Amino acid sequence: MVMGKGHRATEEKDRKENKDYYVVGIGASAGGLKALKSFFENVPVTDNIAFVVVQHLSPDYKSMMVDILSKYTTMQVLEAQEDMSVETGKIYLIPPNKLLTIKENKLHLTQLNPQYKLNLAIDVFFNSLAENFQNKAIGVVLSGAGNDGTRGSKDIKEAGGMVMVQDEDSAEFPSMPQSIIITGIYDHKLPPSEMGQQLLSYIHQPSIVQGNVNRTEKDEIQTEEEALNIIYGLLKLQLGIDFSYYKQNTILRCIERRMKVCQMADLNDYVAYIYRDSSEIHKLNQSLLIGVTKFFRDIEVFDLLKEQIIPQISSTKNRLNTLRIWIAGCSTGEEVYSIAMLILEYMEEHNLRFNVKIFATDVNRDSIEFASRGIYPQSCAVDIPIRRLEKYFNKKNDGYQVIEEIRDMVIFSNHNIVSDPPFHKMDLVSCRNLFIYFQSFIQKKLLKYFHFALNQGGYLLLGSSETINDEVSELFVNINTKCKVFKASSKNRQTLLDYSQTALSLDKSFNTRITNYSATEKKQNKKSVEEIQQKLISEYVPPCVIIDKNHKVIHTSGNINKYIQLPNGAIDLNIFKMVPQSLSFILGTAINRAKKEKVKTVYKNLRFSFNDWEEIINVTVRPFSESNETMMIIIEEKEQEEGDHELVQNNHTINTINTINTIHVEKSMQNRINDLEYELKETKDALQNTFEEIETSNEELQSANEELLASNEELQSTNEEIQSINEELATVNAQYAIKIEELTELNNDMDNYIRSTNIGMIILDRDFLIRRFTPTIKEEINLMDFDIGRPIKHISHNLKNIDLSKEAEEVLGSFIPKELEVQSTRGSWFILKVTPYRTEQDFVKGVVITLVDITKQKEMIEIIKDREEKYRQLFNNANDMIFVNAFDETGQPNKLIEVNNTALGYWVTQGRNY
């Protein structure tokens, strides 16, 4: 059956409205083209995924990405346009100089502001993708510089989506992937060629939230509730966090995402996978604890803090008081530092100075460690006003660090607000966007704790979608409904009893869950063994109590209930408050003696009476551990016989009387008092010694602190000097760079001159060692290229009757140049010049020897001399001489010359006129 076009269009429209398809946002920057090619080469066409590629493009660059990517995929590649509908099986590319967002299945473009120094186009698109597609959003971050995409990836993870990141080894520019890998918010770290298959495996996994998990009918398979209980138990066992009080849908969504990542279709298979891969429970925990926050999030709330709440709290403080704030669920610390900035601003504006302590807590240790460093990526600058960014942050390599003055105001701590005790005497408690994850009964308990933690009139901040439970509404007064600000009422402060009961109940539920998970056969065997042990203990073992070093009961066995009773009021497991007073005297004496002497102490034949009941017992106290910190108390019951009041005599048996309540109680009390006085004296002595040691240590610490302060000042001063020197060195370095460039050019000029000149030259230093020479001079002086650095006197030459070394010494000694005509053994003639080598400062640093070839000039001179001699002989042989004028070209007489008759006769016969 062929479906018509109209039917397909309707189906496509319905599918889009229900968002049953995925949108994959791909962020890339420098080096991203190669990664994109590899990615799309390995992604087959699918009818339930649309791809949007966001790159950092130059505003002046005409992008050719549409044509380029079309060569590597059969999917249609389009450049995004305003209000363009998103369709599956297509790829959309961001245009240059634009920011891209998605809303209601349509793409929207805005102009990139040229004033922004950072291009955060990937964060902007990922944020809109998370808001509109929730768990159908997928973020992929490829090669690039900077950290764009990190904030947006957090948004996608918070919304229930999935994040993939390119591994550092395959990325040409790994900064962007590394920024996400450090935060741990990714689900897969892969090369681009492997991402496509992983992507398809992820989207084809069924949803356990909607009940689509396939189940087998095997009897041993757990139910969904049992499987979840196992996961809760493992999280508590390995990480110390009980997620059973979280909203179940929230937990299921996170588990579903991890199942898709691990390619698990069944919840029981996922439980088995957790047992096989110990790292998976940590990844699930990381997924559950991801918190999205930013600086000055919900600006209206921070405006209210600055204008109303902080002034109100500060009005009650002076130099001797401390302003105390508790921020529960602080995540990576942006909100913490935002509030700290507001407080510091207020104190500076009003010239106030008082102590500020901000307690920032979170159950996620990784978040606490990240927040305590106070270093955030460059993208955080978008949320912080420029003046605050410049004032309260120091620029680091690829980010910003909160200044030390702000960081000193904050104490970060790992803390679970459900299972750990709350803080106390707080002026402000902020717990924003955390209640939404808890069940209502936990919300009510936490509101009581916050009321306990706050001073009377203290403020409570909740998230925009959170409110006060009606059952505890009398504890708080609503100050601002929109910003969710409340003030603690004057109702009596809550006690921590509710906290203890809640913690006990949670531990009990955890123990139940973790115990329930084991094979059926193991359960039955364990139960049988326990029943046998319990029966043996109850029938054959006398009543026994184990106490710790603080006399707290930690274990009991046998029928001990008739000797130990729980006290009224608050629970106190101290053994002396759980037994009758008459028996406590005997136990106190026996316990002290057993501790001191480290041996068994026995009281025999004691007549124990309690209300209308009476019997004879033996009491034995003995050390239970080698460290002597735990003690065992055994109570043996005896039938009354004649002579039972007789005492057993041995080294460690205490003589007692047959009725504790009436006979020799005073003696036992006196022994007990003596023991207590002795313990008190020892305790006082120990405290005195400890106090003296603390005083000494305090003085030493004070002295060390002063030394550290002085050292810190010196280091600060040294640091400033080093900074100044560094700047000077930078200037000098720049100057040297220019000089080096000039010297390089001069050196090139000199090399070319030396290679091209016909003048022979040797440059000697003050020790007459050869520094440089021209190739021409090697014809007469026997030099080789490796003779640089050798003395001139070691070098032979072809010049007659000349000592180059001697000539050089004379010139260097007198500073007077010399010039000589010399002849070589080959008959060539040269002008030899020896001159001092002078520097720019007119210092003589050596000698310069030059040879100028004058052979041709000498030959011409000889020829001229020969001709002159011939002419002279001719004139001498002539009888008559006449003088004639020689005329120049203009007809003017030039000079008078002398000729003989023969020459004149020749000129006349040639018709010459004179």
Would you tell me how many other CB atoms lie within 10 Å of the CB of residue 670? 13
> 123: helix, coil or strand?
helix
Q: Which two tokens stand for residue 397?
A: 């390599």
Nearest Cα neighbor of 438 from 246, 307, 281, 233 is: 246
- Yes or no: say if 366 and 372 are a contact pair by the CB < 8 Å rule: no
- CA 342 to CA 313: how far, in whole Å? 13
Using CB atoms within 10 A of its CB, is residue 389 exposed (0-12), middle (13-18) or buried (19+)? middle
- Contact partners, residue 344, CB within 8 Å, separation at least 6: 356, 392, 405, 406, 409
- Yes or no: say if 542 and 635 are a contact pair by the CB < 8 Å rule: yes
- Output the CA torsion 574→580→585→586 (10° steps): -100
- CA 21 to CA 895: how far, in whole Å? 114
> 102: helix, coil or strand?
strand
- Contact partners, residue 73, CB within 8 Å, separation at least 6: 40, 41, 43, 45, 91
Categorise residue 19: left if φ over 0, alpha if ψ from -120 to 50, beta otherwise: left
- Contact partners, residue 652, CB within 8 Å, separation at least 6: 593, 597, 599, 600, 601, 602
Nearest Cα neighbor of 778 from 806, 807, 755 is: 755
Q: Catalytic annotation on 148?
A: yes
Catalytic, out of 123, 148, 362, 427: 148
- Yes or no: say if 81 and 107 are a contact pair by the CB < 8 Å rule: yes
CA 146 vs. chain centroid, Å, equals 14
Q: Catalytic annotation on 204?
A: no
Would you tell me how many other CB atoms lie within 10 Å of the CB of residue 4? 8
- CA 440 to CA 118: how far, in whole Å? 43
Q: What is the DSSP letter of 896?
A: E
Catalytic, out of 29, 143, 287, 338: 29
Catalytic, out of 56, 415, 451, 797: 56
Q: What is the DSSP letter of 612?
A: T
Using CB atoms within 10 A of its CB, is residue 192 exposed (0-12), middle (13-18) or buried (19+)? buried
- CA 273 to CA 227: how far, in whole Å? 12
- CA 44 to CA 74: how far, in whole Å? 8
Nearest Cα neighbor of 93 from 73, 114, 117 is: 73
Tokens 């408050």 sit on residue: 577
Q: Catalytic annotation on 29?
A: yes
Catalytic site positions: 29, 56, 148
